[in-house]
Structure 1
Amino acid sequence: MSETTETRVLRTAVQVDGEAASYLTVEQDGPVVLLLHGTYWSRVWLPVLGGLAEAGLRPVALDLPGLGRSGGELTLETATVPALADWVARFASALKVSGPIAVAGHDIGGAVAQHLLAHDRLEVSRLALANSVLYDSWPVPGVARFRDPEVVAATTADEFLAARRQAVTTALAGAATKQRIADYLDPWTAPRVRRSWMAMAGAADSRYTLDLVPALQRSTTPKLLIWGEDDSFQKVEYAERFALEIPHTTLIRIPEAGHIPTENASSQVARALIDFFTE
């Protein structure tokens, strides 16, 4: 079953590990671009899906298990970056995607994307990272606190939603509106999704990105960094370092954009992705 979310963009699902894996897409022929979210959900990619499709690409913005609209529930074991990368590989298989595939990742989804490339979990043709976790830039304090089981056990639903509302408002920066904030918060009204998010936070560990650096330095795969310069969570200095140290990397800075530049500058981000993925 599918639901229309905006013109031409559909939400649909495939079965992965016996659960519904939900994703946003434009159902057309064309090279697949796999779009990964982190501590939010597929909503972060919605503003650029139409543009990617109009350029002849087939965007697929998935919801990781237990998050967004996907079924299942993450645990501390299944929420690690390597485990999520393995799940994404199974998702691609369920979608019958084969051969070289372009991948983009935002936030912790960027760590998953880096892992897919560095460990050959998918044949990644091009890698784009938008305000992604890099090196030891994560977990940020608002996420790291949930690595403490006592904090997890003591957090009420109201406290969780209030904390996420504040984080989303900051992340959206100048694009924050009442409706957008409500859109981002909506999945977390479900207890299962809140538990999955806290599992992802509990499993957050910068060693997963630090360990990838040697393999990324050897990689000849083209890489693109798209960065909202005003991001207080993933600072642009990390992107500058990555662009200097990791070969075949280009950095595009988005002025006056926060942690979710797809919302602040959707046309500019879409153009950068299109140019990169169709080059």
Structure 2
Amino acid sequence: MSETGVVRTAVQVDGAPASYLTAGRDGPAVLLLHGTYWSRVWLPVLGRLAEAGLRPVAVDLPGLGRSGGELTRETATVPALAEWVVRFASALGISGPVAVAGHDIGGAIAQHLLARERLAVSRLALVNSVTYDSWPAPHVARFRDPEVAAGELLAARRQAATSALAGAATEQLVADYLDPWTDPRVRRSWLAMAGAADSRYTLDLVPALKRSTTPKLLIWGEDDDFETVEYAEKFASEIPHTTLVRIPEADHIPTENAPGRIARTLIDFCAP
């Protein structure tokens, strides 16, 4: 897993290493949040953002990806993860207004940071994010059943990743996405996140989002069967100061299908 100029490093948060991918040094920070996958979803765009003068920071949430710790149902809720992101940003010295982008459940965390004013969010970007009552998707919710969780997780994650990557899927890329789940601790953390998924965490934010004047950007793979583009259209029509960019022939992880276009869109949106 590599891209020119991208490095992986870590900072201590709550006594455990918080691993993150970054590129660039001196530009304005862009905080990138993942959901049911890990920071790998942002790798295709990081170098491009840095070349444009930004400093992207794609963190692995606790217990997931390469980060230490382990999630429980209590610490895996969107509000709890948002508070963890605040502590992570503080550990990096990110205190001023910052652009935040979120994919999947990471988008719910990003919405919470803005709507609940937990971080000074200057711009909000959502990439095939959960919104309204679009989640948890059935293929995630089924793992609340302990018997299903015990026997099918790795095979189901492989199937989900292959589908989400759409035309970009190769054996090596799917293996990259699945690699963290070889660790039982990560599997337990993922199951905690699946168990804590609850659409009220986004539904409750809608009134505050409607009042927000912060610029918002939606980037959407049009072929996503779960976080469907209809949810993005609804968000764009109801939430002020929102722009929707549709990515054709892309599924749930469009950064792998159209990295150049998505990077340019994020650069135009986030650059000061």
TM-score if structure 2 supplies the norm length? 0.98
Question: 1:58 maps to which residue?
Answer: 55
Q: Aligned partners of 2:215 and 2:198: how far apart in 1?
A: 26
1:216-256 deviation per Cα after TM superposition (whole angstroms, max 9, x unaligned): 00000000000000111210000000000000000000111
Q: Does 1:272 align with 2:269?
A: no
Out of 15, 20, 23, the residue aligned to residue 26 of structure 1 is: 23
Q: Aligned partners of 1:27 and 1:91: how far apart in 2?
A: 18
Q: How large is the RMSD of aligned CA atoms in angstroms?
A: 1.0
1:199-224 deviation per Cα after TM superposition (whole angstroms, max 9, x unaligned): 00000000000000000000000000
Q: Does 1:172 align with 2:165?
A: yes
Tell me the CA shift for residue 278 of structure 1: 1.3
Tell me the CA shift for residue 149 of structure 1: 4.2
Query: What one-letter code is carried by the residue in structure 2 that aligns with 1:132?
Result: S
Tell me the CA shift for residue 147 of structure 1: 2.5
> Are the counterparts in 2 of residues 147 and 203 from structure 1 also a CA contact under 8 Å?
no
Q: Aligned partners of 2:68 and 2:2: how far apart in 1?
A: 19
1:101-250 map, 5 Å: 101-152=98-149, 155-156=150-151, 159-250=152-243
> Are the counterparts in 1 of residues 24 and 51 from structure 2 also a CA contact under 8 Å?
no
Unpaired runs of 5+ residues, structure 2, are none
Matched-pair identity in %: 81
Query: What one-letter code is carried by the residue in structure 1 that aligns with 2:198?
Result: D
> Are the counterparts in 1 of residues 76 and 192 from structure 2 also a CA contact under 8 Å?
yes
Out of 4, 9, 23, the residue aligned to residue 7 of structure 1 is: 4
1:80-119 map, 5 Å: 80-119=77-116
Tell me the CA shift for residue 146 of structure 1: 2.0
Query: What one-letter code is carried by the residue in structure 1 that aligns with 2:169?
Result: A
Tell me the CA shift for residue 186 of structure 1: 0.1
Secondary structure of 1:139 counterpart: coil
TM-score if structure 1 supplies the norm length? 0.96
Q: Aligned partners of 2:2 and 2:21: how far apart in 1?
A: 8
Query: What one-letter code is carried by the residue in structure 1 that aligns with 2:44?
Result: P
Tell me the CA shift for residue 148 of structure 1: 3.3
Unpaired runs of 5+ residues, structure 1, are none
Runs of 4+ in 1 over 4 A off after TM superposition: none
> Are the counterparts in 1 of residues 77 and 193 from structure 2 also a CA contact under 8 Å?
yes
**Matched pairs, number:** 272
Q: Does 1:69 align with 2:66?
A: yes
Query: What one-letter code is carried by the residue in structure 2 that aligns with 1:234?
Result: E
1:50-98 deviation per Cα after TM superposition (whole angstroms, max 9, x unaligned): 1100110000000000000000000000000000000000000001111
Secondary structure of 2:61 counterpart: coil
Q: Does 1:78 align with 2:75?
A: yes
